[in-house]
């Protein structure tokens, strides 16, 4: 026997809000390593990262649709963030999109930034105050499609390992790089800006 219950129209907005939250809260809270890595970034900004222990609800965070505990996207452009990018970011090993552009980030990038994030497809750190050499890459960074480090204070040479065939956009303009640009005859790059 099937019973039907009629929900008054005045309760529908409340019910729809509960349903929207279910995909996030129906699973265990975010991965502890990811949460600790995010909290260790030492960003100073008006973010809601301390309002909940579950980073599923934090500003700029997106989770893997298959594994709802792991961070795949850190997207915080134009958020007034200042501070340094700590090496803790390399613990976000499932990260595919990293956009911290148009903020006031300082210092150099962790040496193993690109090699520790093997799933990274997009990195946009443009329009900050970042300094130092371009972080070395490895063949493990073969998913990279977009690199935008423009309008910072980077210097030194660009490692040949960075321009992997999957790169379609590479923008390092308005920096102080020196030397030649490592290009391959087999490249399929569509937009390279130096």
Which pLDDT tens digit goes with each residue over 139-172? 556 789 999 999 999 999 988 778 777 888 989 9
**The pLDDT of residue 5:** 39
At 71 the pLDDT is 93
Kindly state the DSSP code that residue 116 receives in the 8-state scheme.
H
The predicted pLDDT at position 66 comes to 83
Torsion of CA 119, 189, 148, 61, to 10 degrees: -30
Spell out the residues 6+ positions from residue 77 whose beta carbon is closer than 8 angstroms to its own. Answer: 99, 100, 101, 102, 103, 124
CB atoms within 10 A of CB 117: 24
Whether the CB-CB separation of 139 and 164 falls below 8 Å is answered with: yes
Domains delineated in the chain: 9-193 (3.80.10.10)
Residue 74 near residue 92, CB atoms below 8 Å = yes
Kindly give the parts of the chain with pLDDT less than 70: 1-28, 42, 138-141, 183-194
* Confidence at residue 47, expressed as pLDDT on a 0 to 100 scale: 81
* Predicted TM-score of the model (pTM): 0.79
Residue 184's pLDDT is what?
59
Residues in the chain: 194
> Strand 191-193 vs strand 97-99: parallel, antiparallel, or unpaired?
unpaired
Average pLDDT, the chain: 79
Q: Which of the 8 DSSP states describes residue 154?
A: E
Residue 183: the pLDDT is: 67
- The whole-angstrom separation of Cα 5 and Cα 193 is 61
């Amino acid at each position: 026997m099937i019973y039907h219950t009629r929900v008054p129209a005045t309760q529908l907005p409340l019910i729809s809000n509960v349903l929207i939250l279910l995909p996030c809260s129906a699973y265990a809270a975010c991965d502890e390593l990811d949460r600790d890595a995010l909290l260790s970034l030492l960003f100073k900004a008006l973010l809601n990262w301390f309002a909940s222990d579950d980073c599923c609800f934090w500003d700029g965070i997106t989770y893997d649709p298959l594994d709802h505990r792991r961070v795949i996207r850190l997207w915080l452009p134009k958020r007034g963030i200042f501070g340094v990018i700590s090496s803790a970011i390399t613990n976000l090993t499932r990260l595919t999109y990293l956009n911290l552009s148009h903020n006031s980030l300082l210092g150099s990038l962790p040496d193993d930034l690109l090699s520790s994030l093997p799933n990274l497809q997009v990195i946009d750190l443009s329009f900050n105050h970042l300094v130092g050499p371009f972080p070395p890459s490895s063949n493990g960074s073969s998913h990279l499609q977009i690199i935008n480090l423009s309008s910072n204070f980077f210097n030194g040479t660009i490692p040949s390992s960075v321009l992997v065939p999957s790169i379609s956009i590479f923008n390092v303009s308005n920096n102080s790089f020196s030397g030649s640009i490592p290009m391959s005859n087999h490249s399929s790059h569509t937009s390279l800006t130096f």
